[in-house]
Amino acid sequence: MDLLRHLRYFRTVAEEGHVGRAAERLRVAQPSLSQRIQRLERELGVRLFDRNSRGVALTPAGRVVLAEAAELLAAADRLGAAVAGLRGGVTGAIRAAVPPDLGGAAVAAILTGFPDRSPGGALELRELTTAGQLRELAAGTLDVGVLRHPCAVADLELGPMSYQPLGVLLAAGNALADSTEIGLADLTGCELVLFPREFAPALYDETLTACARHGCTPAAVHDVPAGDFARALVLSGAAVALLPATAPEPGTVWRPLAGTPLAWRTSTAWPRGADGPAVRAFTETAQDALRRHAGVLAERPGRPLFPRPASEFPL
């Protein structure tokens, strides 16, 4: 006997107080419904209804069974919804990562925005470098990440590309701080603060190559993760940092680069063929958060084009 189905029929008869009306509501024949109720009574070994000419009324045993059945059927409904969500990839935990230096507001927007796009889903979000994300995507320990390009994406699928123009963070007392925008060549002789090369080797090389193409030859490059030490180097006047637009701390200013010669390219990425609803929900959430809170643009900003040698990276 399909116990859940019989309990659903029993609940409907109890709610209607009449087998005929219940049969009409359930869209089944009245004799068939009566037989199912009788079979349930035989199975449970108790009489569930008192019958009379006006309809049916629950017996004391029927009232107890109805209360227990309500909890059982509600649990069955929850289980069915959860399994359907898992099959569709909407619910369940998704393992995601974002690169360092994305900014607290953008990360917070991802954490708070994901549940709206994936009700019932759980987001396990970590901070991980582009190189680290590529390793974990290949190993299957990461479902989706936010990558900075160029990088090796042969076995990955990508979300829409976004662009994050870079500027210069420098001490407020620096002579260049009075300019509304700074040319890259003006930074020749300065010491630069840049993220460690192992975070994203191709992007690191591309950034310094672009500096050279635009006439910038730094006196030194400090590979330093964003943090107190990097800020101290800038604040002391010992170096300047190439960073996306940021709210500068007291004693520092941020200025855009003239002509927008540098822009980090960013996209979500996931293993090929693994773009379930949760991955798509994360991609939409990340895109929205980056554009609203990290100064990321949907279109590539205009910049001079220079011939470049063939690259192993397609993007």
Q: What is the pLDDT of residues 71-119, one digit of tens each?
A: 899 888 878 776 766 655 555 689 999 998 888 899 999 999 998 888 7
3-state secondary structure 1-32: CCHHHHHHHHHHHHHHCCHHHHHHHHCCCHHH
Cβ atoms within 10 Å, residue 70: 13
- On average, the pLDDT of the chain sits at 88
131 closest CA partner among 99, 90, 177: 99
Mean pLDDT, residues 59-64 taken together: 92
H or E element that contains 87: helix 60-88
- Which pTM was predicted? 0.67
Please state the domain extents for the chain. Answer: 3-83, 91-303
What pLDDT is attached to residue 310? 47
Q: Which residue has the tokens 């919804």?
A: 81
Structure tokens at 289: 């958060």
**Report for 101-105, 176-180, 226-230: range of highest mean pLDDT:** 176-180
Beta bridge partners of 55: 52
Q: How confident is the model at residue 307 (pLDDT cuts 50, 70, 90)?
A: very low
What pLDDT is attached to residue 269? 97
H or E element that contains 107: helix 104-117
Mean pLDDT, residues 18-28 taken together: 91
CATH topology of domain 3-83: Arc Repressor Mutant, subunit A (1.10.10)
234: exposed, middle or buried (C-beta count within 10 Å: 0-12, 13-18, 19+)? Answer: buried
pLDDT at 130 over 70: yes
CATH architecture of 91-303: 3-Layer(aba) Sandwich (3.40)
What pLDDT is attached to residue 132? 96
pLDDT at 256 over 90: yes
For residue 161, the 8-state DSSP code is -
Q: Please name the residues in contact with 166: beta carbons below 8 A apart, sequence gap of 6 or more.
A: 207, 242, 243, 244, 257, 262, 263, 264
